[in-house]
Amino acid sequence: MSFSAAQWRGHFPLLAAHPKLHYLDNAATGQLCEAALDAVTSHELQHRANVLRGTYRLAEQADAAYENARRQVAAYLNAAGPEEVVFTAGTTAAINLLAHAFGEGLDAGDEVVLSLAEHHSNFVPWQMLRERRGVALRFLPLAADGRLDLSRLDEFVSQRCKLVAVTHASNVTGAVTDLAPLVAAARAVGARVLVDGAQAVQHGQVDVAALGVDFYAFSGHKAFAPTGVGVLWGRSEALAALPPFLGGGGMIGRVTAGETTWAPPPRRFEAGTPPIAQAVGLGAALDWLRAQPWADMHAHTARLAQRLMDGLAVLPGLTFLGPRDLRQRLPIVSFTLAGIHPHDACQILDGHGVAVRGGHHCAQPLMDCFGVAGAVRASLVPYNDEADVGALLAGLKDAMRKLG
């Protein structure tokens, strides 16, 4: 299959309807692909019913669609089976689920290792766990370019470590975490590993078996699927060892006045009515993504990112956040402009039809490491093209004339 950014863009109805929009906020939310939209529309028009509880034909069709979505997610992740896929409301919900369920087995003095590059979703739940259970948090330091500094890993992953929880790729710098040494260090002390994959899944298929981790979380809306749905993948034995987080319908084995027993995973972690149509859309989006020519698409986005960084580098007063080279990084480019607030720059850019994000990007500890309060961020995916990059660079020059 050959790749064309213009053809790929045509698979996204909003972008097709707004040809003058230069959408570069993909790290926050990717646009909805037609495969997901069609799947959701078809499901809602033909198979809408609750799952698990119905014995009539429509409900059985809803059950089948929901479980097929679980299989599609498992295939995208190269999971051992669909029983390892827990549907959640998103990455934040998935990590909170794990912080509560896994955290129930931790005692005061046990350690959770994070990094200073984490999104708040992989930061705040563990701070809350510290308040509840008295666990200790250890924070891996960062190199000057924002990459994790793993040179003193043995000092941070001690015998008291029970979990290492890190991002697969930073939502600010785009830097991809070298997971292998972290997994090895965790295994050496019997600790589990959670990876926040929110920024990785939209850039190609993820192989959790090859990564060797225990848990992986991501959101549908980053992967060109609906909002309100996400995934916590976990190894079967790791999920089976966890208690439930929420109680209610769908997650029980048997309820009596005296006690309740739990269903096996993944049902144990899916209390109440799940995001059925959203899960169907997510499965369809991931199936579509699996069939794409990712080698060509990665080359395309790398060329765009290089052109963008080259164009930004000549602007006076601009400072990059993150590594300058494109090795082991995603096409996420964040920067500051001397004397210009990121929000003001974004407002000027919006007047040029350019949609980018400005602020701390829910990564304030990382911003503190860089000594800034916020930054402008442009994030690229395969439907972006040279016109998007050109419009951003032109808009920034206009912003600097007006605000500098």
User: The domain spanning residue 10 has which CATH number?
Assistant: 3.90.1150.10
User: Mean of the per-residue pLDDT values for the chain?
Assistant: 97
**pTM above the 0.85 mark?**
yes
Active site residue 362: yes
Q: Are residues 215 and 350 in the same domain?
A: no
Q: Are residues 70 and 207 in the same domain?
A: yes
At what angle are helices 276-290 and 57-77 packed, to 10 degrees? Answer: 40
Q: Are residues 49 and 60 in the same domain?
A: yes
User: Using CA of residue 34, residue 35, residue 40, residue 46, what is the dihedral sign?
Assistant: positive
For 276, which DSSP code? H
User: How many domains does the chain fold into?
Assistant: 2
**Which of 33, 161, 346, 362 is an active site residue?**
362
Q: Are residues 72 and 212 in the same domain?
A: yes
In this structure, the chain runs to a length of: 404
The 10s digit of each residue's pLDDT in 306-357 is 999 999 999 999 999 999 988 899 999 999 999 999 999 999 999 999 999 9
CATH number, domain containing residue 78: 3.40.640.10
Q: Are residues 94 and 190 in the same domain?
A: yes
Give the pLDDT confidence score for residue 327 in this predicted structure. 87
Give the pLDDT confidence score for residue 2 in this predicted structure. 79
Enumerate residues 6+ apart whose C-beta is below 8 A from 7: none
Q: Are residues 371 and 322 in the same domain?
A: yes
Give the pLDDT confidence score for residue 18 in this predicted structure. 97
Give the pLDDT confidence score for residue 404 in this predicted structure. 76
Give the pLDDT confidence score for residue 1 in this predicted structure. 63
The 10s digit of each residue's pLDDT in 276-309 is 999 999 999 999 999 999 999 999 999 999 999 9
The 10s digit of each residue's pLDDT in 72-103 is 999 999 999 999 999 999 999 999 999 999 99
Nearest one of 132, 169, 134, 129 to 148, comparing CA atoms: 169
Q: Are residues 259 and 390 in the same domain?
A: no
Give the pLDDT confidence score for residue 299 in this predicted structure. 97
For the chain, the maximum distance between any two Cα atoms, rounded to a whole number of angstroms, is 71
Which domain, by its residues, includes 358? 5-31+293-403
Low-confidence ranges of the chain (pLDDT < 50): none
Q: Are residues 255 and 310 in the same domain?
A: no
Q: Are residues 346 and 316 in the same domain?
A: yes
Any bridge partners for residue 25, and if so which? 379
Q: Are residues 90 and 222 in the same domain?
A: yes
**Where does a domain end: 290, 311, 338?**
290
Give the pLDDT confidence score for residue 155 in this predicted structure. 96
Helix H, strand E, coil C: the string for 6-71 is: HHHHCCCHHHHHCCCCEECECCCCCCCCHHHHHHHHHHHHHCCCCCCCCCCHHHHHHHHHHHHHHH
